[in-house]
Structure 1
Amino acid sequence: MEKKMDIGMVGMAVMGSNLALNMADHGFDVACYNYTPDLTEKVLREHPHKHMHGFFNLQEFVDSLQKPRRIMLLIMAGEPVDSMIEQLTPLLEPGDIILDGGNSYFGDTRRRQTKLQQAGIHYFGVGISGGENGARRGPCIMPGGDKEAYEFVRPVYEAVAAKADGQPCCSYIGPDGAGHYVKMVHNGIEYADMQLIAEAYLLLKYAGGYSNRQIAEIVHQWNQGELRSFLIGITADIFAEDDDAGGQLLDKIVDSAGQKGTGRWTSIEALRQGVNISLITAACNARVMSNLLSERQELGRIIQPACAETKIDGDFVEMVRQSLYLGKIAAYAQGFALYRSADVHYGWQLDLGQIAAIFRAGCIIQADFLNRITAAFTASPQLDNLLQDTFFAGKVNENLAALRQTVASAVQLGIPVPALACAVEYIDALRGTPLGANLIQAQRDYFGAHTFKRIDKEGSFHHEWQKNF
């Protein structure tokens, strides 16, 4: 009898082919299928592997798998996923497992899981981070679905995942859409992290007057300390990269950034849940503004530049470094506050310490200080906000003055730093200062009789406001 395959991979583009090769390297027999046969043929021709086998008929692909069948989809999110599910469902049996490893919206994952559950098929939303290299050498994996069925896929995922301190950067996240939700917010944090680094670049170059080469050295030094992370590391490389045509490549790239939607989904979901993730939203808006190239050029000729230069005292590079670090803390605090809210809202029982632990390697937001986040939520699993942790509260107090000075200087110089500015506002709002909400509630009661609460009495009150002017 012909040996059955351990797992099937649908989608032989960059992510699917590299993850399939990763699985094959770990001794798993992988059945490969793509709706266009030429892509499967190309991958097998360029990367022949004794544990990878191509199939060009969906029925034959399904029949090649051992039961319960484990089929992973790494295809474009949206309608292509629904289409593939419709094709696969009649070929599967109760107990079989479909694993969506794309960047699907978690609400779609919940819908698909409910529908497939009626047919006895297990459906998982699997967040995967790390890009092409991560898929090939070890990604961060965030599976969400039926906990008992997860045992059938756990050995594969834990084998191929990145390792941090010897532990796989893969953990069962929770039921239905939890895995894709955690990946979505991971990407939102990634947006904020990248925007903060971009703002530090603007400050160093246009306020500090440093060249790209000098910034490369500065950022490289930052990567030796508490800012050490994947993004900081690649950023140092980017500043040092020469262009074949002369000069440096960064200066030749158009000042416009794209986005695939996960950051926007994160902002929308935060509004639904009533959670402040202002840094993530600011990062999304910054990308939107970056695409207004013609409008920005026109308004640059109309609107006057900053009215005056500002004098910056002290070690400017260190001031920016401290600001970037504190901005990063605020961004992660907001992302994990959204996880906490989702845990309550959807009843997923998310382990925030474990989520932080699997982010320590393999993924785009991997950073040394995730060890501190892991420790904070391990010590206090019900921690509402990361800034309540002793270590992070201490870092706020240590770096807040630098962040204030950095943002104030940027405003005076006309350098846009929306994420850093949101970090200051977020911290100030959390530290108990008046927010003016008493006035807003009075206005709501004045025009809409929405009532208000008093500091000196229990209950809700409405006042018959007088027209005094």
Structure 2
Amino acid sequence: MQVALIGLGVMGKNLALNLIEKGISLVAYDKNPDAGEDLLSIAKSDGLAERLHIVSDLTDMIKRLETPRSILLLVPAGELVDRVCQELIEAGVDANDLIVDCGNSNYKDGIARKLKYQNKFEFATMGISGGAEGARHGPAMMASGSEGGWERVELALEKVAANYKGESCFARVGQSASGHFVKMVHNGIEYSLMQLIAEVYQLLRLGCGKSPQEIATIFDAWSETELNSYLLSISSHILKLEGHNNEPLVDLIDNKVGAKGTGLWTAQNALELGIAVPSLVAAVEARHLTNTYSTHAAKEMTYQTRPTLVAQLDLDELKQAFHFASLLCYRQGLALIKGASRTHQWKVDLAKTLQTWRAGCIIRADYLHQVAQGNEFIDALESEVTALRNVTGIAITTGLAFPVLAASQTYYATLSTPSNGHLVQAQRDYFGEHGLLTHAGELCHLTDLADIDAKVR
């Protein structure tokens, strides 16, 4: 089996080593010749060089590949993807060749490229999660589009992907560019889970006065239960690390959080599609708030430092609240994927999507089987619902910030208790005559329901 790979940065290099280790013959290219030499050196030291061919230009790559060709792109998202695609056309790819964009591209770009290149080659998209370690030893791979071309490379990608209980974490999740949309939402969920863990840490550290080591011990205990996850385990490890003077490492790190855009895209697309994902949006905004001092509006966004209060928490109840909030983060993400699939007619398979997340990716967790059970499982969690209410209330009274915890509680409460939307819609009709629905499903106006003598000015 033969595959080509363009882009030998951190992800590309490690995926290349994974491919040849699994028995796939690989032709690799990077515009930086040093990247190719570095990959070849590592492959030789690992005894894998016989299946690796480094080429110096794309024309040479095209000549070396058997037709129809299968080429993976691991280049930065944006204009560079189109530039490489154009160079491949000039180098001699044909309409039967499969080109797969494996970067963190915006799914809208994927839709446009599929149309742009439809007579030049088969264009497909695939999201990859797991970082450098995942790429080397088994990532999660969310593929989509180009039904015919995928058949040539599915076996190879199933081999290099992570494996969970005998099932590969590679799957074609849906049509068109749905693979990139699923990966985008994966990252949005990742944002929310990271922030949620940080909020639990904050509550235990500043609200309860516990040390990072003590919090790490709590996280380790949780990891012995159904709450075990990759993000919880690395958070525990981070909290155990110390600097040169035996200070907790977390205390030496500046409170500014970076982002590469996929979380923002998740929030934007959710708003455009009219699908509420408040926990995911709150996590994006939480990152933005850590960078307010760097903005032009810094003076308007900086307030006086206030004291905070001590919290009296039951650790078992905190664990239940964290569990429930985590489940809600996943469920919001899946609702967004389902809504986008319906809008774009992608036919995304949510079961396959969750299968790709079982291992290898950043949001892998032992409780994903609970996420898969849906609302029926969520509605059966009586004590967890109460725990989230109680813990959120206690947390907020400390004066500290808990955007994802509070958003998760608000999300579930809005969908499971009486809403206040009837008054808001009445307000809209009062000043804008937008109309409203009665419980009987009739469209009318306030004037149809009551005598209104004069409008308030």
Normalization by structure 1: what TM-score? 0.91
Secondary structure in structure 2 of the residue aligned to 1:275: coil
Matches within 5 A, 1:45-444: 45-48=41-44, 49-90=49-90, 91-119=92-120, 121-293=121-293, 302-306=304-308, 309=309, 312=312, 315=314, 317-374=315-372, 376=373, 386=374, 388-389=375-376, 391-395=377-381, 397-435=382-420, 437-444=421-428
User: Which residue number corresponds to residue 382 of structure 1?
Assistant: none
User: Which residue number corresponds to residue 379 of structure 1?
Assistant: none
Q: CA shift at 1:347, angstroms?
A: 0.7
Secondary structure in structure 2 of the residue aligned to 1:24: helix
User: What CA distance in whole angstroms lies between the structure 1 residues aligned with 2:168 and 2:190?
Assistant: 21
Q: CA shift at 1:105, angstroms?
A: 0.3
Q: CA shift at 1:246, angstroms?
A: 3.3
Secondary structure in structure 2 of the residue aligned to 1:172: strand
User: What CA distance in whole angstroms lies between the structure 2 residues aligned with 1:42 and 1:354?
Assistant: 36
Secondary structure in structure 2 of the residue aligned to 1:72: strand
Q: CA shift at 1:303, angstroms?
A: 4.6
Point out where structure 1 has 5 or more consecutive residues left out of the alignment.
Answer: 377-385
**Contact preservation (8 Å) 1:450, 1:462:** no
Alignment deviations for residues 175-225 of structure 1 (CA, whole Å, 9 cap, x no partner): 211110110000000000101000000011011111111111111111111
Residue identity matched to 1:330: L
Q: CA separation of 1:467/1:231 partners in 2, compared to 1, >3 Å: closer, same or farther?
A: same
**Contact preservation (8 Å) 1:97, 1:123:** yes
Q: CA separation of 1:47/1:245 partners in 2, compared to 1, >3 Å: closer, same or farther?
A: farther
Q: CA shift at 1:392, angstroms?
A: 2.1
Residue identity matched to 1:393: D
User: What CA distance in whole angstroms lies between the structure 2 residues aligned with 1:9 and 1:245?
Assistant: 45
C-alpha RMSD of the superposition: 1.9
Identity value in percent? 35
Alignment deviations for residues 236-259 of structure 1 (CA, whole Å, 9 cap, x no partner): 111111223532222111111101
User: What CA distance in whole angstroms lies between the structure 1 residues aligned with 2:327 and 2:441?
Assistant: 38
User: What CA distance in whole angstroms lies between the structure 1 residues aligned with 2:243 and 2:306?
Assistant: 33
Q: CA shift at 1:366, angstroms?
A: 0.4
**Contact preservation (8 Å) 2:223, 2:232:** yes
**Contact preservation (8 Å) 1:22, 1:138:** yes
User: What CA distance in whole angstroms lies between the structure 1 residues aligned with 2:198 and 2:311?
Assistant: 22
Secondary structure in structure 2 of the residue aligned to 1:99: strand
User: Which residue number corresponds to residue 466 of structure 1?
Assistant: 453
Q: CA separation of 1:462/1:408 partners in 2, compared to 1, >3 Å: closer, same or farther?
A: closer
Moved more, 132-141 or 234-243: 234-243
Q: Pick the aligned partner of 1:8 from 4, 12, 24.
A: 4
Q: CA separation of 1:444/1:164 partners in 2, compared to 1, >3 Å: closer, same or farther?
A: same
Secondary structure in structure 1 of the residue aligned to 2:71: strand
User: What CA distance in whole angstroms lies between the structure 1 residues aligned with 2:7 and 2:24?
Assistant: 17
Normalization by structure 2: what TM-score? 0.93
**Contact preservation (8 Å) 2:169, 2:359:** yes
Alignment deviations for residues 26-80 of structure 1 (CA, whole Å, 9 cap, x no partner): 1111111001112111221233222111100110011111111111110100011
User: What CA distance in whole angstroms lies between the structure 2 residues aligned with 1:52 and 1:248?
Assistant: 44
Secondary structure in structure 2 of the residue aligned to 1:30: strand
Q: Pick the aligned partner of 2:431 from 426, 447, 452.
A: 447
Secondary structure in structure 2 of the residue aligned to 1:414: coil
Q: CA separation of 1:76/1:457 partners in 2, compared to 1, >3 Å: closer, same or farther?
A: closer
Q: CA shift at 1:468, angstroms?
A: 5.9
Secondary structure in structure 1 of the residue aligned to 2:100: strand
Secondary structure in structure 1 of the residue aligned to 2:28: strand
Moved more, 36-45 or 454-463: 454-463
**Contact preservation (8 Å) 1:147, 1:174:** no
